[in-house]
Amino acid sequence: MLLKDRVAIITGGAKGMGRGMASRFAEEGCKVAIADIDINEANNTVALVKQKGSDGLAIRCDVTDGKQVRNTVQKVVDNYMKIDILVNNAGAIAPHKPIEDITEEEWDRVLALNLKSHFLFCKYVVPYMKKAKYGKIIGISSIGGIQPPAHEIHYNTAKAGIIGFTYDLGRELAPLNITVNAILPGPIRTNFYERMTGTMSDEDKDKFFNEGLGKKVPMQRPGTPDDIAGAALFLASELSAYVTCETLCVTGGLPQLP
């Protein structure tokens, strides 16, 4: 098992990519703490983790609130005595708006959820990793951080910020055997994209994803949470022991640069 006896925190792990990573980590022997504002779905993810033969912990947490983040980290340490892996996955896409129509409150909210949350969890997790002289930190950025496919300036700015955060923190922590890397997903079939299909039938949804959205991707299909989970497993395990300060595109071939 690649993650036997490891302990991970996955933010935003209640569903979608977070749930996919939690399931894959559990299959590899990892104990998984889910930090999410949706405690009911977080509990469902923990139930899945336990079905895979591992242990899990669901904690309700607003990832933009420093006090809640600190308390979440402390609960994980109290329960498992350590934190080996941190996946900063929590985030949400923002509506398409011209910059003049974005309020300061919207800007702050999007940056807090998609970027500030990475800072807060690292702030409280890194001291434990330093003490152990071991750690794996994975940030979930987006293809929008390097080549925005749509005009979502607050969201894309936050995702670009994660890349800079990764480079800087990775260099700081490298001498301490703590790696910091980022995954840049392309279009992944999760609840966000499912909402775009509204009341479509299952057949029409499949057509939308595979013949519509998928045809924009060189591999001719949208990604799945399992695709992200495989990349995360690589970065969370000793397979990537000498990999840090890197960004890994999981996009099916996007972006198609000139």
What are the pLDDT tens digits along the chain (258 aa)? Answer: 999 999 999 999 999 999 999 999 999 999 999 999 999 999 999 999 999 999 999 999 999 999 999 999 999 999 999 999 999 999 988 888 899 999 999 999 999 999 999 999 999 999 999 999 999 999 999 988 988 777 789 999 999 999 999 999 999 999 999 999 999 998 887 766 555 556 666 666 666 666 666 667 888 888 899 999 999 999 999 999 999 999 999 988 887 554
User: Of 172, 16, 175, 176, whose CA–CA distance to 87 is shortest?
Assistant: 16
pTM: 0.92
Can 128 be counted among the known catalytic residues? no
Nearest to 141 by CA among 105, 104, 88, 179: 88
Structural domain boundaries of the chain? 7-188+226-246, 190-222
**Dihedral in degrees, nearest 10, Cα atoms 98, 99, 105, 106:** 40
Burial class for 35, CB neighbours closer than 10 Å (0-12, 13-18, 19+)? buried
> Which tokens go with 49?
């983790």
> 7-188+226-246 belongs to which homologous superfamily?
NAD(P)-binding Rossmann-like Domain (3.40.50.720)
168 and 217 Cβ atoms separated by less than 8 Å: no
Catalytic residue among 155, 167, 193, 242: 155
Inter-CA distances, 34 with 10, 19, 138, Å: 5, 9, 15
